[in-house]
């Protein structure tokens, strides 16, 4: 069963109606703090959550955050930073530290950059070094092959692709590291907002690929972090 | 408007209730005779259709034919031949002739062979020379690259793939010939009987790929024939 | 394997983190230069890509481009042109040349015109002569039959249709040229943004039809170009 | 509100637990008696239902009936007849009478015949004269055009088609009678068991087409009967 | 084959590139003139089409028309009228005439009114008398039963319903007239923009119901007109 | 059959064309008055419906109401109240009464609050006491376990969850009360606007869970009310 | 948190690799014992599970059980009984007791009987009295209305329906008891194995209906039991 | 670019038409040898592939193999072994070695065992120690909690679940190791052959979960192996 240190309730009397029950012990159980998914929350809700988390953790993150969210958080946490491409707000108590862990993020095209950046910001918050190699879609294979030595240096490889989502299959046949596939909603028509890429990645003929939700750069980064810390 | 020679009705009085209205002038209009789709038809229906077509054409074809279909046809047309992998019955009035046209059929794995063979039988009936290069799936790219010079000799390239259907995207970035993509139902789970491969091919990041129905080797071959004869 | 001339890397040292890895040798491998898909890219990104491509090619194209994209590109490439119906930006180093190749674009209704125009602009950039015959949907068959002689002059026929997507099936039974079917998202309700037309075209009872993604006039034109140059 | 004669309950005390609550007054309300859908019912259940209906009606019908169903019914109702293609059991108290009503059933190919026959058997039970014109798919338009005068004699036109389901759109643009479209599950791959044809018919560019369920020849015939009797 | 009077081409030399090939003989073939689907067309395109149609017909219609469309048309055809709920523009050369035909339009709730009105405007343009009985959804059956005598006076019954789309099934069991079911996109969540109602109507346990596309009041009215004129 | 008191028609002569046929006897039949679904209705329509209902009932409700709706209703019913999170307008003739019934509403995250509030407002209108325990998603199980004693006090438990919709399965294994599962559209990508959560809840391995439509807090509350009053 | 009596682990040392971890305390937590879902399990697995459950409970149940399953269980538990229509095996330590609770099960047609029976067997095992009123589909409303007084006696109403799934909407507008809707896979074509009925029930215009999985008579009965015991 | 040792072609002259192009250097590139997917292949094809692989590798695997496949392979490779639950054939040149790597496989119910076993056989072939903890579905949470200490010993956790697929979300909130989620096709109705579980896992509110294809125990094991060897 859960040990007291793993539960917030060991520290305070929980209030049933509290609309924000921050899981401040998630880092103890899972190795990373709870993050705030800002989309669909008010700036006040995001700020309140970030402030509570900042009291329990050294580094915190909000994803899918707009500038309005960022401005509100910045008033309460002046050291917070907003990356507009990644749509992420980060805050650190201390200067960033770097571990020896190395991840590589590949992507098919420039339109995948917001997802790439979300993953990158998350990984760097965990102290992981990131090589981002964008625009290496399979229509011009040599672009990928040129960077194979760089890619093989990484302990985990994240691959973002929209449209037909073929890149993880090709990469999975070239490297021995775990491959995390991130389908993106880039494309139109019968891509059905990322469904085509998602199905392709789930059916990859290269085995050993773990797939996350469409456009879920954050989730891919957390999986990479779990892998690198295991 | 249609010229008399393009319509069967120029040759005989049409009967409304005739359950088989063979389109014996399709070859004049479209360049290839009507073929019989045997699945769901009785052996007697397939035989009747083949016999009628044999009176108007030099070479005829039935697809998706079982051995039972083939046996029934063979009684009426002793020179007919059945290819069990392709599930096709063919019959020729004269010995096959070969044109200079050259098509190449690539496929991802051995499970795609029935579709490959259906395309090959159809192409060869049209007198087209076929190079079949199976088992060159993207999980081992060098298998494809080894045969690039052979592939580039073809005036049209047919690419069969199941699972994630990535092969046409890779091929489309390597050759200048028209690429015809044939999704196959090979795979399981979230391949949804070929839907994953179909969507991938429709969303290919390599432009200039024409997609046919799932497992439709025949249709791909007819498109190749239209291209080579145009 | 790829020859050095087929790879950009033969010309320069590739930079992993460069967000635009223009595939400037695609024309050597595939017969046509890389195009820029503008949707979802910033005007600056589109401009940078077009400028780089203009240094390697005689004629370049950006699709799904808004006026904002076009204005930004025009500052860097004053000779570029924007076709608002096609939503395409084109730029040529030299005056257009015309080949003897002839393509025909049919469409079901006036609402299909943006897709028709995207295909037409692309084809004309390749020097292909285009006859566009719009508004010949199957509800009034004589409109199609009137123009059958014109249609049959083309070496390749592109057919755009939304709603039930029946036009390619009818055309496929009347001509011997290769037919490229382009489902459009025109319609409402159970057309599911072009899915109904897409499925209809994939299941055409007229064999030898290659289907591209919904609204993908560009891809259809590239396939036509591959066919005409093969 | 319902008049007593319109309700079975006016004739007998209803039993809640009776597993067969035959709606023997449907003919009074709707103009046609209840029919038995045999698929998934035991021969005993079908027989019991048919016997009860035979006591209240002059002519009755069971659809989707196997030979086993038919044999069981024949023991109880020796004059019943089974049409194996239509998979229908019919029984009449009196010899068939013919009304002046005339319906025409068109179909795309021979594989649609079971659906055509189900519609035909049902229509003829209602005394409606039926012209069946099979195998007039749109890949050979002249086959349809040859019979246009016959088709235009009908007061209602039923159109069966599988694959891309284009036939109703073409017919709808040629006749003024009401068109009832019946998608069939004929085809394979991306026809998704009749879904492609169903969507095509719902999105027809020819207005004034009523669509029934996939393979539902019976329902189409009842709609035709409603129309002819209105 | 088509008679000359049935084809526009009998009257003028057709121009391939004319983007509006008005099918001005449709009324001869089908009993009703071509209508203009305004959505996705420019005001100028709609106006041009209406003007051309007005020269060949006594009464014309544009559907899915915005006020902007209507204003543009009114400049060219001052007698045209716009019904904002129906989103329809109508124009008549002569005062409306009324036939003896009588149709009834039922609907589940007030949110279905735009679809009801589109059907009503279309029917009235054909001279058909319309009884509209809105807000009789099955959650309060007595509302429907109250009006059963009125409903039964109609020769054809149109039934609009969103959400679960149950109304046509109930009505189909109460009347002998043909029932035309119009699924609407009213609802939310798992109604999937009208798909739930569409599927329900296609699977109705009351036989003899013809279904049209989601929100397609126009198509339903044309089917009713075909029925009433047959 | 229905008793006169159960039908509005017992009280007044129904008008076929009345666009608002308020079912003012639903409370007699079903235990709760008809509610107004405001989305897609004009402020005038909502107001008219509320005014009519207020004459027949002590307490009335409009759901999915915007501030514009609320302002219009407030002019006619000055005592009406609008809850902006719940998007509900309520009006009571008399001060609220409280029954002994107790319901508990659990939710996975703060983004589910609009749905939670819609359920809560509805339940409180019925006089049911509500404990709302938000933000107890399964990623931090102890948050749920902390409140198990509170949850078990309720006679019925409503569980709102988006994303993977796992919360009802966990709760269903911990309590003996009936569980009503409300999938929310919270999430992105392959949640397909609540479909993922909906399917999860329908397939729960904990038996005895009733599922309502996506985001349907109102329907869940009415089901709870039916249960508590049964 | 869970009390010891609520967990099996309080009674024995749990073995990680034990493939059957019977949740013998579920009755304490949830009010009903764990049931065995036999489909896909071997007869030996089902027997082992039933034997273990029989040691902890007075009455046990296996659903989706074939005769082979039943025969194997009967060897170990001679008093077990198999209901072939319901496909359920039951076993009781003591003679059945009846509570005062009363449930009513309505169904649209005879093909729904297996689902009806699964629900009935489950309810009766819980001591609940069941009135089953089959074959009251909405195509003949009077069949339902005849039994309204019986239906209103029940404290909870279960409604099974396939095809368009309209019955729960109609029933929900006639009774005040909680309504549990069970979509069945009865039908064909566009019913998509019960999807049409499922969607209809989720979108019911009668509020307060809880939906369970397709064909899930067992789950509906457990929900009824939770309601009646709450 | 690929080094010669990474390509088979470095060892032999490749034959284009060879239907089995075993990728015998995959182990060098990816860390594990190619496996044979037996489903849809003939026993002769599987045997030929296994024999070729056995010449290049120390340990080989065929998945989805029937007894017929196994018998054929055993004739050629007498030391091969068949696990009927896992449907896997394995062959080793040398006795198995064990690494220190430790994986844990959790599963929701006994019906998931074939998928669990496929993963286990694969992992053990790689020398990884496996703890399998079946039947810990979320309906009885204590079953999972009992084994939390065991689960936390593993460096990677594989979680199999069908139905609603909630188990990975719960596990992901309790452990810090990477979680690999395997949706299974266990369930019925709206599980849509594993789609419900797949969507749930992709949308997990616990971040850092990698999802594989439905029933893909093999792919999950390869991903675990990549992780443990990285």
Q: What is the DSSP string of D113-147?
A: HHHHHHHHHHHHHTT-EEEEE----GGGHHHHHTT
Tell me, what's the pLDDT at E230? 79
In a domain, B169, yes or no: yes
Chain D hits for B15, CB-CB cut-off 8 Å, are none
Report H helices in chain A.
26-30, 43-56, 67-76, 113-125, 141-145, 148-152, 167-172, 195-202, 217-229
CA gap E10, C95 in Å, rounded: 42
Nearest to E199 among G173, G199, G206 (CB): G199
Q: Give the residue from chain E lying closest to G208, CA to CA.
A: E139
Question: Are C107 and C213 members of one domain?
Answer: yes
Chain B hits for H6, CB-CB cut-off 8 Å, are 142
Helix (H, G, I), strand (E, B) or coil at C31: coil
CB-based contact B164 A165, cutoff 8 Å: yes
Would an 8 Å CB–CB cutoff place G30 in contact with chain F? yes
Would an 8 Å CB–CB cutoff place A185 in contact with chain B? no
Which one, of C181, C176, C221, C223, lies nearest residue C199 by Cα? C181
pLDDT band at residue B125, thresholds of 50, 70 and 90? very high
Q: Give the residue from chain C lying closest to D186, CA to CA.
A: C203
CB-based contact A143 C216, cutoff 8 Å: no
Give the count of Cβ contacts less than 8 A between chain B and H: 74
CA gap G114, G217 in Å, rounded: 8
CA gap H63, H42 in Å, rounded: 13
pLDDT at A26 over 70: yes
Mean pLDDT over all residues of chain D? 93
Chain A hits for C26, CB-CB cut-off 8 Å, are 139-140
Neighbours of chain G (3+ CB pairs under 8 A): D, E, F, H
Chains A+D touching (3+ CB pairs under 8 Å): no
Chains F+A touching (3+ CB pairs under 8 Å): yes
Residue C214: which CATH number?
Answer: 3.40.50.1970
CB-based contact H205 F138, cutoff 8 Å: yes
CA gap G219, H189 in Å, rounded: 12
Chain C hits for A143, CB-CB cut-off 8 Å, are 8-9, 14, 21, 23
Give the rounded distance of the alpha carbon of G65 from its chain centre. 13
In a domain, C188, yes or no: yes
Question: Are B110 and B41 members of one domain?
Answer: no
CB-based contact G200 E164, cutoff 8 Å: yes
Tell me, what's the pLDDT at F12? 55
CA gap A116, G159 in Å, rounded: 50
In a domain, E222, yes or no: yes
In a domain, C178, yes or no: yes
Q: The tokens of G81 are what? A: 């009984």
Chain A hits for H146, CB-CB cut-off 8 Å, are 1
CB-based contact G169 E138, cutoff 8 Å: yes
pLDDT tens-place string over residues B4-50: 677 766 555 678 888 888 888 898 899 899 999 999 899 999 999 99
Which one, of C179, G113, C13, G62, lies nearest residue A146 by Cα? C13
B92 phi and psi angles, rounded to 5 deg = -130, 140
Domain termination site, one of H73, H92, H111 = H92
CA atoms within 13 A on the CB side of B27: 15
Question: Are H112 and H198 members of one domain?
Answer: yes
pLDDT tens-place string over residues H148-185: 999 999 999 999 999 999 999 999 999 999 999 999 99
CA gap H37, A207 in Å, rounded: 11
Chain E hits for G211, CB-CB cut-off 8 Å, are none
Chain G hits for F31, CB-CB cut-off 8 Å, are 176
pLDDT band at residue C13, thresholds of 50, 70 and 90? low
Report the interhelical angle of F195-202 vs H195-202 (nearest 10°): 130
CB-based contact H188 G213, cutoff 8 Å: yes
Chain H hits for F196, CB-CB cut-off 8 Å, are 196, 199-200, 202-203
CB-based contact G210 F211, cutoff 8 Å: yes
DSSP symbols for E116-160 = HHHHHHHHHHTT-EEEEE----GGGHHHHHHTHHHHHT-SEEEEE
Report the interhelical angle of C195-202 vs D195-202 (nearest 10°): 130
CA gap F201, F206 in Å, rounded: 9
Neighbours of chain E (3+ CB pairs under 8 A): C, D, F, G
pLDDT tens-place string over residues F145-201: 999 999 999 999 999 999 999 999 999 999 999 999 999 999 999 999 999 999 999
Chain D interface test: which of B48, B181, B199, B213 (most D C-beta within 10 Å): B213
CA gap C15, C4 in Å, rounded: 17
CB-based contact F173 H139, cutoff 8 Å: yes
For CA atoms H211, H213, H217, H220, give the dihedral sign. negative
Question: Are H74 and H138 members of one domain?
Answer: no
- The structure's pTM equals 0.96
DSSP symbols for B170-200 = HHHTT-SS-EEEEE---S-GGGGGGHHHHHH
Question: Are E88 and E123 members of one domain?
Answer: no
pLDDT at D12 over 60: no
Which one, of E173, B138, H1, G135, lies nearest residue A147 by Cα? H1
Structural domain span for residue E198: 102-229
Report the interhelical angle of A217-229 vs A113-125 (nearest 10°): 40
Question: Are D136 and D69 members of one domain?
Answer: no
In a domain, C124, yes or no: yes
Would an 8 Å CB–CB cutoff place A41 in contact with chain F? yes
CA gap D113, D132 in Å, rounded: 10
Closest-CA distance, B172 to chain C, in angstroms, reads 8
Nearest to F215 among E111, E131, E188 (CB): E188
Question: Are B162 and B196 members of one domain?
Answer: yes
Chain E interface test: which of F22, F28, F40 (most E C-beta within 10 Å): F40
How far CA B38 is from CA of B46, B67, B82, C225, D195, in Å, comes to 6, 11, 13, 35, 21
Mean pLDDT over all residues of chain H? 93
pLDDT tens-place string over residues G39-71: 989 999 999 999 999 999 999 999 999 999 999
Which one, of B200, C18, H24, C210, lies nearest residue A138 by Cα? B200
pLDDT tens-place string over residues F31-68: 899 999 999 899 999 999 999 999 999 999 999 999 99
Domain termination site, one of B66, B92, B118 = B92
How many domains would you assign to chain C?
A: 2
CB-based contact H138 F109, cutoff 8 Å: no
In a domain, A26, yes or no: yes
pLDDT band at residue F126, thresholds of 50, 70 and 90? very high
Query: What's the CA dihedral at A51, A53, A54, A57 to 10 degrees?
Result: 180
Question: Are H40 and H117 members of one domain?
Answer: no
Question: Are G34 and G143 members of one domain?
Answer: no
Would an 8 Å CB–CB cutoff place E84 in contact with chain F? no
Q: The tokens of D12 are what? A: 């007998």
Q: Are E124 and E130 in contact (CB under 8 A)?
A: yes
CB-based contact H210 A213, cutoff 8 Å: no
Report H helices in chain F.
26-30, 43-56, 67-76, 113-125, 141-145, 148-152, 167-172, 195-202, 217-229
Nearest to D135 among B19, B193, B213 (CB): B19
Q: Give the residue from chain E lying closest to C149, CA to CA.
A: E16
Chains D+G touching (3+ CB pairs under 8 Å): yes
Q: The tokens of F136 are what? A: 């107890």
pLDDT tens-place string over residues C207-220: 999 999 999 999 99
Rounded to whole angstroms, the maximal C-alpha distance in chain A is: 59
Chain D interface test: which of E208, E211, E212, E229 (most D C-beta within 10 Å): E208
Which one, of D18, E135, G152, lies nearest residue F1 by Cα? G152
Would an 8 Å CB–CB cutoff place E1 in contact with chain D? yes
In a domain, E6, yes or no: no
pLDDT tens-place string over residues E91-124: 999 988 888 889 999 999 989 999 999 999 999 9
Question: Are E126 and E196 members of one domain?
Answer: yes
Q: The tokens of E172 are what? A: 């189909």
CA gap A190, G157 in Å, rounded: 43
Nearest to B138 among A173, A192, A201 (CB): A173
pLDDT at G165 over 60: yes
Report H helices in chain C.
26-30, 43-56, 67-76, 113-125, 141-145, 148-152, 167-172, 195-202, 217-229
Chain D hits for G143, CB-CB cut-off 8 Å, are 8-9, 14, 21, 23
Would an 8 Å CB–CB cutoff place G213 in contact with chain H? yes
Chains B+F touching (3+ CB pairs under 8 Å): no
CB-based contact A136 C195, cutoff 8 Å: no
Question: Are G69 and G115 members of one domain?
Answer: no
Q: Are C158 and C105 in contact (CB under 8 A)?
A: yes
**In whole angstroms, how large is the CA radius of gyration of chain A?**
18
Domain termination site, one of A71, A92, A113 = A92
Nearest to G204 among E164, E192, E205 (CB): E164
Closest-CA distance, F172 to chain G, in angstroms, reads 8
Chain A hits for F135, CB-CB cut-off 8 Å, are 18-21
Q: The tokens of E19 are what? A: 């983007």
Tell me, what's the pLDDT at F184? 98
Q: Are G118 and G87 in contact (CB under 8 A)?
A: yes
In a domain, G97, yes or no: no
Give the count of Cβ contacts less than 8 A between chain A and B: 116
Tell me, what's the pLDDT at C223? 98
User: How is the beta sheet containing F81-83 ordered, strand by strand?
Assistant: F36-37, F59-63, F88-92, F81-83
Tell me, what's the pLDDT at H40? 87
A133 phi and psi angles, rounded to 5 deg = -125, 90
Question: Are E88 and E111 members of one domain?
Answer: no
- Length reported for chain H: 230
CB-based contact F134 A195, cutoff 8 Å: no
Place of tokens 């309950």: D9
Q: Are C211 and C184 in contact (CB under 8 A)?
A: no
CA gap B167, A7 in Å, rounded: 49
- Say which range, C21-25, H61-65, H209-213, has the weakest mean pLDDT: C21-25
Nearest to G163 among E108, E191, E203 (CB): E203
Would an 8 Å CB–CB cutoff place G3 in contact with chain H? no
pLDDT tens-place string over residues E171-196: 999 999 999 999 999 999 999 999 99
G159 phi and psi angles, rounded to 5 deg = -125, 115
Q: The tokens of G200 are what? A: 């209809």
CB-based contact B212 C209, cutoff 8 Å: yes
């Amino acid at each position: 069963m859960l040990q007291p240190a793993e539960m917030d309730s060991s520290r305070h009397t929980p209030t049933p109606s509290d609309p924000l029950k921050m899981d401040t012990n998630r880092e103890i159980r899972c190795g990373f703090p709870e993050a705030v998914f800002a989309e669909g929350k008010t700036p006040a809700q995001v700020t309140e959550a970030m402030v509570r988390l900042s009291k329990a953790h050294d580094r915190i993150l909000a994803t899918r955050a707009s500038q309005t969210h960022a401005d509100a958080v910045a008033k309460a946490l002046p050291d917070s930073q907003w990356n507009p491409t990644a749509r992420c707000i980060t805050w650190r108590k201390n200067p960033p530290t770097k571990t020896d862990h190395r991840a590589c993020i590949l992507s098919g095209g420039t339109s995948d950059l917001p997802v790439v950046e979300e993953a990158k910001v998350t990984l760097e918050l965990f102290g992981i070094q990131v090589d981002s190699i964008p625009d290496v879609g399979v229509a011009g294979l040599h672009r990928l092959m040129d960077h194979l030595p760089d890619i093989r240096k990484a302990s985990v490889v994240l691959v973002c692709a929209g449209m037909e989502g073929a890149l993880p299959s090709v990469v999975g046949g070239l490297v021995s590291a775990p491959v995390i596939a991130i389908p993106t909603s880039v494309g139109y028509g019968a891509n059905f907002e990322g469904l085509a890429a998602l199905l392709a990645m789930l059916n990859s003929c290269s085995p050993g690929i773990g797939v996350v939700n469409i456009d879920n750069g954050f989730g891919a980064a957390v999986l990479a972090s779990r892998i690198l810390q295991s």
